[in-house]
Structure formats: structure tokens, C-alpha cells
């Protein structure tokens, strides 16, 4: 069941990003409603990761505007203000990002990994951070692994710790960049289950994924990108089951 509301949570207008001469995002505009799940699909090199990174300003676009919740940034016009570090840090805590490679702190236990941002960025008291971290580890099914170091966790467990760590910042939006692509096939399901439960909680999410069946199941909106352009966007029943564009049809035929 979809939890999408009519409130726009993410609004991107006319986004452009180039690396040198190479234009990677060409005038991207999109909206994500609060509580909805967007699946972004497309061939390698189409700009999916760059778009996700722009949404939390890990990558700064040359042109366009990005609004997440109440915060917005405009780039490339005379009206745009320079980015302030504090604004940027605040903006980033609102967009939890989960990567293909988990990037856990190796010298910290699962629990300490989840607590870290609450202590250093949110400056929460230790007892409060610990209590919420334990709650989140329970949510991702890892209560019994709290004191284990990443080296002794499976890939699926590491990725679930990474999700709990992102959730610890109480983000309004979660961004997943191929969160299951590096996992052994038998470990994919446990991570998808966590994403499924977040969708059921009404978390606003953008998932870059090659799991087409999962996208069909959880997404309210599917975006097909190619060469820095949104070729086709709409509900899964349209984009996945009845694609109109030849490029979308050709891409999807690889998964059948």
C-alpha cells in the first residue's frame, strides 16, 4: 500500500551537471511526494548516481534548483547564494544516503557505527544515542549483532547497519544507490525487506536499483534515465509493464 501524500518533499528543477566537457545531467526536473517511493532505473553511466549525489549536495550542480522539505538551493543564477557549510551540513542530515559499498567505520561496533552521527553531528547525549541506536538495530533485525565489528558481519548485515546509521539522523528522505548490487544473491532479500518496511512506515525514498521486480512492487513512481535525461517517468504499471519509449523497452528487455 502506498503512503504517498500530495505534499511535495523533493523538487528538482532544470538541473544541469557536467564534469568538464561531459554533460552528465541535462535539464532534469522531477518531484517526489512525501511518503512516496521512487525507483530510478537506467543503464550504467546514465547519471543516476550523479543525480542522487546532487540531491544531498555531495555533488554540486552548475545550474538548477533543489528543494528538500523546507530547504532549497538554487545554482548558477545571479540570485543564487554561495553555499554555507552549516546550511549544507543541516541539509545533508535530512537526506540519508546508503551506498553500494557500506563504508562502515571498521574500528567501531555495529552499535557505535549507528551512534556516531548522533554524537558528533546531532550532539545527542550518549544514553539517548545508544537507546535510539539499539531501537534502529532492532528495526533492521540486528539486535543481537550490536557489539560485533563490521569485519565479522555479512554483507547483508553490514548494509543493514548502514541503513540504521543513516536513519539515526532522522532524515526526511532516504536515498539508496544500488544498495544491494554488491551483495551475494542470498543476502539481497534481507536488505530489500528493510527497505520494504521503511516504505510501509511512509518513509520518502529514492532507490537507484537494478531490482526491477522490487521496483515494480514498492515504487509509486519509476524514472528511467539514459544519457543524463529522464526518458520516461510514471507508475510501474506504465514504465515497467507498458513502456512507451524504445530506449525503455530495450533496457527492460535485458531483465526478462
Residues that bind ligand ADP (CB under 6 A): 19, 24, 42, 44-50
As measured in angstroms, the least distance from the Cβ of 65 to ligand ADP is 19
Q: Which of residues 44-63 bind Mg ion (CB under 5 A)?
A: 49
Report helix, strand or coil for 119.
helix
As measured in angstroms, the least distance from the Cβ of 175 to ligand ADP is 12
Contact call for residues 3 and 218 (beta carbons, < 8 A): no
Q: Is 136 exposed, middle or buried (0-12, 13-18, 19+ CB in 10 A)?
A: buried
What are the DSSP calls for 124-164, one per residue?
--HHHHHHHHHHHHHHTT-GGGTT--GGGS-HHHHHHHHHH
* Contacted entry of Mg ion, ligand ADP, none for residue 45, CB cut-off 5 to 8 Å set by kind: ligand ADP
Our CB check for ligand ADP shows the closer of 47 and 155 to be 47
* Contacted entry of ligand ADP, Mg ion, none for residue 24, CB cut-off 5 to 8 Å set by kind: ligand ADP
Distance of CA 129 to the CA centre of its chain: 23
Our CB check for ligand ADP shows the closer of 35 and 42 to be 42
- β-pair partners for 176: 98, 207
Q: If binding is defined by CB under 5 A, does position 180 make contact with Mg ion?
A: no
Binding site for Mg ion (CB under 5 A): 49
Amino acid at each position: 500500500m502506498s503512503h504517498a501524500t500530495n505534499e511535495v518533499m523533493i523538487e528538482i528543477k532544470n538541473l544541469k551537471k557536467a564534469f568538464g566537457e561531459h554533460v552528465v545531467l541535462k535539464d532534469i526536473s522531477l518531484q517526489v511526494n512525501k511518503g512516496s517511493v521512487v525507483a530510478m532505473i537506467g543503464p550504467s553511466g546514465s547519471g543516476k548516481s550523479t543525480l542522487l549525489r546532487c540531491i544531498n549536495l555531495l555533488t554540486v550542480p552548475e545550474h538548477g534548483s533543489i528543494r528538500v522539505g523546507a530547504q532549497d538551493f538554487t545554482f548558477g543564477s545571479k540570485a543564487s547564494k554561495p553555499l554555507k557549510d552549516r546550511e549544507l551540513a543541516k541539509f545533508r542530515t535530512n537526506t540519508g544516503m546508503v551506498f553500494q559499498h557500506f563504508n562502515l567505520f571498521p574500528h567501531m561496533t555495529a552499535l557505535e557505527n549507528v551512534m556516531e552521527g548522533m554524537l558528533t553531528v546531532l550532539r545527542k547525549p550518549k544514553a539517548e544515542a545508544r537507546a535510539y541506536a539499539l531501537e534502529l538495530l532492532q528495526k533492521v533485525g540486528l539486535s543481537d549483532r550490536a557489539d560485533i565489528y563490521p569485519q565479522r558481519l555479512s554483507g547483508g548485515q553490514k548494509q543493514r547497519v548502514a541503513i540504521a546509521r543513516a536513519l539515526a539522523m532522522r532524515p526526511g528522505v532516504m536515498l539508496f544507490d544500488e544498495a544491494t548490487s554488491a551483495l551475494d544473491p542470498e543476502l539481497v532479500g534481507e536488505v530489500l525487506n528493510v527497505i520494504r518496511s521503511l516504505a510501509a512506515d511512509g518513509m520518502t525514498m529514492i532507490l537507484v536499483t537494478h531490482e526491477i521486480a522490487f521496483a515494480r512492487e514498492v515504487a509509486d513512481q519509476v524514472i528511467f534515465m539514459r544519457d543524463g535525461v529522464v526518458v520516461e517517468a510514471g507508475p510501474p504499471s506504465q514504465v515497467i509493464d507498458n513502456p512507451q519509449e524504445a530506449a525503455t523497452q530495450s533496457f527492460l528487455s535485458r531483465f526478462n
